[in-house]
Amino acid sequence: MNLSGVLFFPVTPFDSEGALAADVLAEHIGRNMEHGPGGVFVACGTGEFSALSQAEHTRAVEVAVKTVQGAVPVLAGAGGPLGAALEQARAARAAGADGLLLMPPYLMLGSRAGFAEYVRAVAAELPVIVYQRGALVLEPDAVVELARIPGVIGLKDGLGDIDRFQRTVLAVRREIGPDFTFFNGLPTAELTMPAYRGLGVELYSSAVFAFAPEIATAYFNGGELSERLLTEFYAPLVELRGKGPGYAVALVKAGLRLRGLDVGPVRAPLSDLAPEHEAELGALIERGLALVSA
């Protein structure tokens, strides 16, 4: 699977009744496709995966596949209890998705062998990128073991343990080869990309791309502007993200609303931004856009 450039994680819009707004999701993805993402990851963390019903998850994947029209790979979130993960995987396959981002199982991780069997079962349905985050902390040899499972094609790192991740990359490259995909999946990944590039990892997920693709693309293109964006946009954005639990998703939805696309609120247990924080976000977006257009 050819993933390159900036990876796009769309939000899941909700209407005034709290239902999935499929037409807004199509508009959201369509607008951002004009900025050339290297892959679309629908109904994942930014898409409030854990708050969606199975029917909503399936519909979101269908909309993404139809909107993208094969221009880039479309991957869907999957995870939780094995039965739920398999149902999501099969529905995503039927909808035409190219692969899955596999979230850690809910609450119970079990043994290393048990987790490998969990991954094996889901990867039998569609190619899988395993998402390492939260309680799921994988040793390098465990990642090598997972990489040997047919259908397991990559690892998204949401931990940020640079020492562990370097050893993991080296072990997989030595034992498996160069085709296994690694990418930085930390919130506001641009801030840590200089470190990940030092490990030989170029791919990353970009929350900013979802609401300000002009800024995300300008950062990706490199040069002096990237350094200014890190200092004047991304670093303050990370500070703002830390002012409330769940703000990693709420910031993205607020950013989209500020830019004229009504994607609705986040779902409980997440909460939307406090008014003063939304104003702060608006000022940051204006600053970032001004830097890009200067």
Q: Which residues are catalytic?
A: 131, 156
Q: What length is written for the chain? A: 294
CA–CA separation, 42 vs 65, rounded Å? Answer: 9
Q: DSSP string spanning 113-135?
A: HHHHHHHHHHHTTS-EEEEE-TT
CA count, 13 A, side-chain hemisphere, 101: 30
How many CA atoms lie less than 13 Å away from 191 in the CB half-sphere?
16
Q: Six-digit token pair at 15?
A: 């209407």
Residue 205 is encoded by which pair of tokens? 């997920």
